[in-house]
């Protein structure tokens, strides 16, 4: 029995861990590398195992950095089951189809240039057909339902918070009479999400793989974040223009909508025209409403038997391009949620073109903005930005609201691990050096546990 690490080992993307037991092979996640160019180049690497001879895959949650290489796996011969919660399957459908579309569009654009330069053409990393073939392999696995996946491998998925359907994976393993329990955290959410119940640690394990994205710091208090959102809403209304909120289509958009529904009166939201202007976010929101049984008590009670239109009567979902373009004529009172979350593309750019140069408009940044992105430039106070080849003056007020993270902070990660009986050996994955080192120091101080920090490709006996 052993496990090896083929992504999210010393980084936060490309999550992929291979378990070998009794001559069988099971993959935990098969995520895409994202971020810097040299990082993304790894998506083209051959797998260090034969995709065709893998026996099973378990997917912790739908995010592309955990699911995005699944279509490549299928393209290279994998035909076995991909186990995931029904909500994860619903969200993966939205995400993988979109990712395939982007891959095809990127390759097409690349090839037009390559043709002009007389260079050989490239193929997309995967196509929409690959994504569809992948989706057909998905096999639902409910939370808290121990299930035999392979001889000697019994899996139980437990709630991880983070995003809808996200699971930690507990594997009860048996090989030649030896029993071991492996717990893989997946990505863990915050304890006080407005939408999802807190993550639940396994009661016991022999080895724990724990994420460490924010292993070195804590998020600001939830109440402060809510107060800040209320203040931005009020000042944006007083300014008399529109309010633009760039947000990820899956997770952040639904979290905002839930917050709005919970605080509708307090935040005086009925005076705004609310728009979710993203086809992907609209599909993801429908998936959330379908699975609202997974919400926490407060959000669950709010959504039970109601749809979003009842909770937020002024909300409009604008799926078509024509509907989206009509928003350009609104001068005041529109609150528009659109992607992309870091303003690197998508419809938010069109809304910037129409609103960013107007003093009476506001932008509320509610998510992390990566280095080099347009969102980061706005946060850093740029006076002018380039959008679709045109320089646009930034006169609108830019507000950054911290604290809305889908990831647990250091205290929560340490508490999750500390709740596991006997403090078993710990392996830290899914973190940059800062996050992993920070969490390693914390568990050393709190529990006297020396965490292992595997490198890419490393193998560990179980």
Binding site for Zn ion (CB under 5 A): 63, 187
- The minimum distance between CB 26 and Zn ion, in angstroms, equals 20
Of 173, 167, 204, residue with least CA distance to 186: 167
Residue matched to tokens 């999210």:
8
- The minimum distance between CB 338 and Zn ion, in angstroms, equals 21
- The minimum distance between CB 162 and Zn ion, in angstroms, equals 6
Judged by beta carbon, residue 55 or residue 187, the one nearer Zn ion is 187
Task: Give the integer Cα–Cα distance in Å for 270 and 181.
Answer: 51
- The minimum distance between CB 213 and Zn ion, in angstroms, equals 8
Judged by beta carbon, residue 62 or residue 243, the one nearer Zn ion is 62
Of 248, 315, 313, residue with least CA distance to 284: 248
Length of the chain measured in residues:
462
Structure tokens at 12: 């936060």
Judged by beta carbon, residue 31 or residue 124, the one nearer Zn ion is 31
- The minimum distance between CB 63 and Zn ion, in angstroms, equals 4
Backbone angles phi, psi at 174, to 5 degrees: -145, 125
Of 287, 264, 289, residue with least CA distance to 274: 264
- Other Cβ atoms less than 10 A from the Cβ of 262: the count is 17
Task: Give the integer Cα–Cα distance in Å for 273 and 271.
Answer: 7
Long-range interactions of 440-444: CB distance < 8 A, separation 24+ = 440/212, 440/215, 442/215, 442/410, 442/413, 442/414, 443/414, 443/417
Instruction: Fill in the DSSP letter of residue 143.
Output: B
The two beta strands, 243-246 and 334-338, are: parallel
Judged by beta carbon, residue 214 or residue 354, the one nearer Zn ion is 214
For residue 2, give every residue at least 6 positions away whose Cβ sits within 8 Å of its Cβ, in sequence order, or none.
19, 20, 459, 460, 461, 462
Judged by beta carbon, residue 63 or residue 288, the one nearer Zn ion is 63
- The minimum distance between CB 134 and Zn ion, in angstroms, equals 18
Spatial contact of 356 and 348, defined as CB atoms under 8 Å apart: no
Judged by beta carbon, residue 66 or residue 351, the one nearer Zn ion is 66
Per-residue CA distances from 422 to 156, 201, 441, 448 (Å): 20, 13, 19, 12
- The minimum distance between CB 307 and Zn ion, in angstroms, equals 27
Judged by beta carbon, residue 63 or residue 69, the one nearer Zn ion is 63
- The minimum distance between CB 333 and Zn ion, in angstroms, equals 34
The two beta strands, 167-175 and 178-184, are: antiparallel
For residue 117, give every residue at least 6 positions away whose Cβ sits within 8 Å of its Cβ, in sequence order, or none.
none
- The minimum distance between CB 187 and Zn ion, in angstroms, equals 4
The two beta strands, 178-184 and 207-211, are: parallel
Judged by beta carbon, residue 92 or residue 208, the one nearer Zn ion is 92
Of 219, 214, 211, residue with least CA distance to 168: 211
Spatial contact of 318 and 257, defined as CB atoms under 8 Å apart: no
Judged by beta carbon, residue 74 or residue 91, the one nearer Zn ion is 91
- The minimum distance between CB 35 and Zn ion, in angstroms, equals 14
Classify 208 as helix, strand or coil: strand
Judged by beta carbon, residue 66 or residue 377, the one nearer Zn ion is 66
For residue 228, give every residue at least 6 positions away whose Cβ sits within 8 Å of its Cβ, in sequence order, or none.
399, 401, 402, 403
Judged by beta carbon, residue 187 or residue 228, the one nearer Zn ion is 187
- The minimum distance between CB 414 and Zn ion, in angstroms, equals 19
């Amino acid at each position: 029995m052993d496990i090896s690490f083929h992504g999210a080992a010393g980084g936060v993307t490309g999550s992929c861990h291979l378990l070998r037991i009794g001559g069988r092979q099971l993959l935990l996640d098969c995520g895409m590398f994202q971020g810097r160019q040299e990082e993304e180049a790894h998506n083209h690497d051959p797998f260090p195992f034969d995709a065709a001879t893998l026996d099973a895959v378990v997917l912790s949650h739908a995010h592309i950095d955990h699911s995005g290489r699944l279509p490549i796996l299928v393209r290279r011969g994998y035909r076995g089951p991909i186990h995931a919660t029904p909500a994860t399957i619903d969200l993966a459908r939205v995400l993988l189809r979109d990712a395939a579309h982007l891959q095809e569009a990127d390759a097409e654009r690349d090839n037009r240039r390559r043709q002009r330069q007389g260079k050989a053409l490239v193929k997309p990393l995967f196509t929409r057909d690959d994504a569809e073939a992948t989706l057909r392999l998905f096999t639902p696995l409910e939370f808290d339902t121990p299930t035999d996946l392979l001889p000697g491998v019994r899996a139980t998925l437990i709630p991880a918070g983070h995003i809808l359907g996200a699971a930690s994976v507990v594997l009860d393993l048996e090989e030649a009479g030896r029993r071991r329990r492996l717990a893989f955290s997946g990505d863990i959410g915050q304890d006080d999400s407005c939408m999802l119940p807190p993550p639940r640690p396994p009661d016991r394990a022999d080895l724990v793989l724990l994420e460490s994205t924010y292993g070195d710091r804590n998020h600001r208090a939830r109440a402060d974040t809510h107060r800040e959102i209320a203040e931005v809403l009020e000042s944006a209304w007083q300014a008399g223009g529109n309010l633009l909120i760039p947000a990820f289509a899956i997770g952040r958009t639904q979290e905002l909508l839930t917050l709005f529904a919970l605080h509708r009166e307090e935040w005086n939201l009925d005076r705004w025209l609310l728009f979710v202007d993203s086809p992907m976010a609209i599909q993801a929101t429908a998936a959330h409403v379908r699975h609202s049984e997974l919400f926490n008590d407060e959000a669950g009670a709010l959504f039970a038997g109601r749809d979003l239109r009842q909770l937020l009567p002024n909300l409009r979902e604008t799926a078509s391009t024509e509907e989206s373009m009509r928003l350009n004529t609104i001068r005041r009172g529109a609150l528009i949620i659109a992607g992309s979350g870091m303003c690197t593309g998508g419809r938010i750019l069109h809304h910037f073109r129409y609103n960013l140069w107007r003093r009476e408009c506001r932008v509320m940044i509610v998510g992390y903005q990566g280095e080099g992105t347009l969102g980061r430039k706005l946060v850093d106070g740029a006076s002018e930005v380039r959008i679709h080849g045109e320089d646009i003056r930034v006169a609108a007020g830019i507000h950054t609201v911290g604290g809305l993270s889908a990831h647990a902070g250091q205290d929560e990660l340490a508490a999750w691990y500390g709740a596991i009986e006997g403090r078993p050996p710990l392996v830290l994955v899914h973190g940059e050096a800062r996050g992993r080192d920070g969490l390693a120091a914390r568990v050393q101080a709190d529990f006297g546990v020396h965490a292992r920090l595997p490198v890419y490709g490393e193998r560990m006996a179980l």
